[in-house]
Structure 1
Amino acid sequence: MELSVHRLRMLRELRRRGTVTAAAAALHYTASAVSQQLAQLERDVGAKLFERLGRRVQLTELGVLLSEHAEEILGAVERATLALEEAQQTRSVRLTAGVWASVASGLLPTALASLAEEHPGIEVRTRELAPEETADAVRDGSLDFSFVLDYTDAPTPWDTGLERVAVAVERLYAAMPAATAPASSVSLSDLADQPWILASPRSHFGRAVRVACQRAGFQPVINHEVEEQATAMAMVSAGLGITLVSDLGLTLRPAGVDIVTLATPVMRTVSVAYRRTARRRPALRLVIDAVRAAAAELGLGASATVPG
């Protein structure tokens, strides 16, 4: 019997998520592709691993047993990868990172350029996801690490199976149509009567801004609900309302948008998240160092250190 690590990862996700569709979404495959691979796993094993209950798929006793061993096998694969990296003096390795637009445009170019110059054996590939999705993708093993957010006004729950290292601290600013700002600095309460362009409350950003506005004594009137800062600022440029934008998001600012400092700062921390079992990976530590150095160059440095 030969067991595919790839198929065992799908089995593990099916047990965690409960449906093929959810497992496929977590692994960034189609449900059809996951179903085909799981069917092949049954053929590889030569025993029934699943049974259908309506639209759901339930693991049989043998399926549960194999999924438990899958956790051990996948953990062993990760430990073997770490051991190989530690043994290689060249540190030649490829890592996949979860990013979003402002990190990809404002932080990574400098970090990856420096990394390529100092450690050419390390290759970082990126996958753009919503900030709310990146930590799950790391936990599931489809990413080696990801960037995650935490807001002072709306801290996010944390997965104890992951570790994170702060790499940057950003301030949020008011983004307003050109020549409409009442002053060079405003309080959030000064913006209470403005039409807002804001991400949905399902997002960390949208939730944090709503909480900050509530603490300032008002509920923002949201005329346009969009998820990306670049899209929101394009609408601000067209005179459709105001929004908040982060330091890294300023790299995406179009013409026709004025940036105004908030009198009472709204802050957020950008961190790198990774699985606890990966904390000793030399390549990961070097990537984190490069990202933190790039943030420091932008004046966004965080004081955290990489755990040893």
Structure 2
Amino acid sequence: MELSLHRLRMLRELRRRGTVTAAAASLHYTVSAVSQQLALLERDVGVKLFERLGRGVQLTELGFLLTDHAEEILGSVERATLALEEAQGTMSARLTAGVWASVASGLLPGALTSLAAEHPGIQVRTRELAPEATAEAVRDGTLDLSFVIDYSDAPMRWDTGLERAVVAVERLHAAVPAGAVPSATVSLDALAEYPWIMASPRSHFGRAIRIACQRHGFQPKINHEVEEQSTAMVLVGAGLGVTLVSDLGLRLLRPPGIDVVALTTPLLRTVSIAYRRTEIRRPALQLVVAAVQTSAAELGLGSEPELP
């Protein structure tokens, strides 16, 4: 019997996620591809690993047994990979990073260009995920590292199994229709009467803005709920409301008809890179972190939280 690591990862995800659909989404495969690979795994081992329950599947007792061993096998493979990287003393590694739009466009181009020039053996692939999903993907081994965010008004709960390296600290700015705010700065409560364009409360960004507004004494009147800062700025440019946008968000394509105004009481957003805590230090990963920190510094974004 020869076990495929690829199929064992799919089995592990099925146990963690509960359904083939959720496992496929976490691994970025189609449902049919995962179903086919799991069926081949069952054929490889020669025992029944799954039972169908309605439209879903459930692991059998032997399926749970193999999954327990899959955790050990995949963990050993990861530890062996890290040990080889360290023993070689050469910078050669393939890493997968979780990103979202503003860090992918603002921080990565400079960081990965300089990394490729100085350490061509390090290959970084990216997957765009919602910021709220990236830390979990690192924890379960889907990603090697991910960008995560923290807001001064809404700090996130941190997983003790992960390490975190701060790479940039951004300010949030008010984006308003041109001419709506005549001064160079504005307090958040002065925007209370405007219609707002905001991410949903399911997102960390959306929750953080709502909390900031509440702390300034008002509930924002939300006319448009959109997730991407670039989309929100298009709506602001059309005169449909106001929003908050980060330093990196401002590096996205900015439409005409917008004024960007500083907040009198700064709202900060800390961008970090999260990775799994291991006994073996991974030099290639640390070089990626350093390259991103350098890229952020070149953009004028510090790596230490700035006091208001």
Aligned partners of 1:172 and 1:267 also within 8 Å: yes
Question: 1:86-101 alignment to 2 at 5 Å?
Answer: 86-101=86-101
- Cα 1:279–1:107 change in 2 (3 A) is farther
- By how many angstroms is 1:185 displaced? 0.8
Query: How many Å separate the matches in 1 of 2:263 and 2:226?
Result: 22
- By how many angstroms is 1:279 displaced? 6.3
For 2:293, what is the secondary structure of its paired residue?
Answer: helix
For 2:95, what is the secondary structure of its paired residue?
Answer: strand
For 2:278, what is the secondary structure of its paired residue?
Answer: helix
TM-score by length of 2: 0.95
Question: 1:231-246 alignment to 2 at 5 Å?
Answer: 231-246=231-246
Amino acid at match of 2:221: V
For 2:157, what is the secondary structure of its paired residue?
Answer: coil
- By how many angstroms is 1:20 displaced? 1.1
- By how many angstroms is 1:136 displaced? 2.0
Aligned partners of 1:27 and 1:140 also within 8 Å: no
The gaps in structure 2 that reach 5 residues or longer are none
- By how many angstroms is 1:278 displaced? 8.0
- By how many angstroms is 1:255 displaced? 2.6
Deviations 1:223-274 (A, max 9, x none): 1111100111111111111110001111112232111111111111101011
- Cα 1:197–1:39 change in 2 (3 A) is same
In the alignment, is residue 130 of structure 1 matched against residue 117 of structure 2?
Answer: no
- Cα 1:296–1:133 change in 2 (3 A) is same
Query: How many Å separate the matches in 1 of 2:38 and 2:230?
Result: 40
Stretch moving more, 69-78 or 180-189: 180-189
Deviations 1:193-231 (A, max 9, x none): 011111111111011000100111111111111110011
Amino acid at match of 2:303: A
Percent of matched pairs sharing the same residue: 77
Instruction: Give the equivalent residue in structure 1 for 2:248.
Output: 248
Instruction: Give the equivalent residue in structure 2 for 1:33.
Output: 33
Question: 1:1-308 alignment to 2 at 5 Å?
Answer: 1-252=1-252, 253-277=254-278, 280-303=281-304
Aligned partners of 1:162 and 1:276 also within 8 Å: yes
Aligned partners of 1:177 and 1:237 also within 8 Å: yes
Aligned partners of 1:82 and 1:278 also within 8 Å: no
Query: How many Å separate the matches in 2 of 1:237 and 1:287?
Result: 36
Amino acid at match of 2:149: L
Query: How many Å separate the matches in 2 of 1:159 and 1:279?
Result: 19
- Cα 1:278–1:176 change in 2 (3 A) is farther
- By how many angstroms is 1:7 displaced? 0.8
Aligned partners of 1:26 and 1:140 also within 8 Å: no
Deviations 1:16-70 (A, max 9, x none): 1111111111111122211111111111110011112223322111111111111
Aligned partners of 1:163 and 1:273 also within 8 Å: yes
Deviations 1:116-137 (A, max 9, x none): 2221221212111111121122
Moved over 4 A (4+): none
The gaps in structure 1 that reach 5 residues or longer are none
**Across the two proteins, how many residue pairs are aligned to each other?**
304
Amino acid at match of 2:260: I
Query: How many Å separate the matches in 2 of 1:46 and 1:143?
Result: 31
Query: How many Å separate the matches in 1 of 2:260 and 2:120?
Result: 38
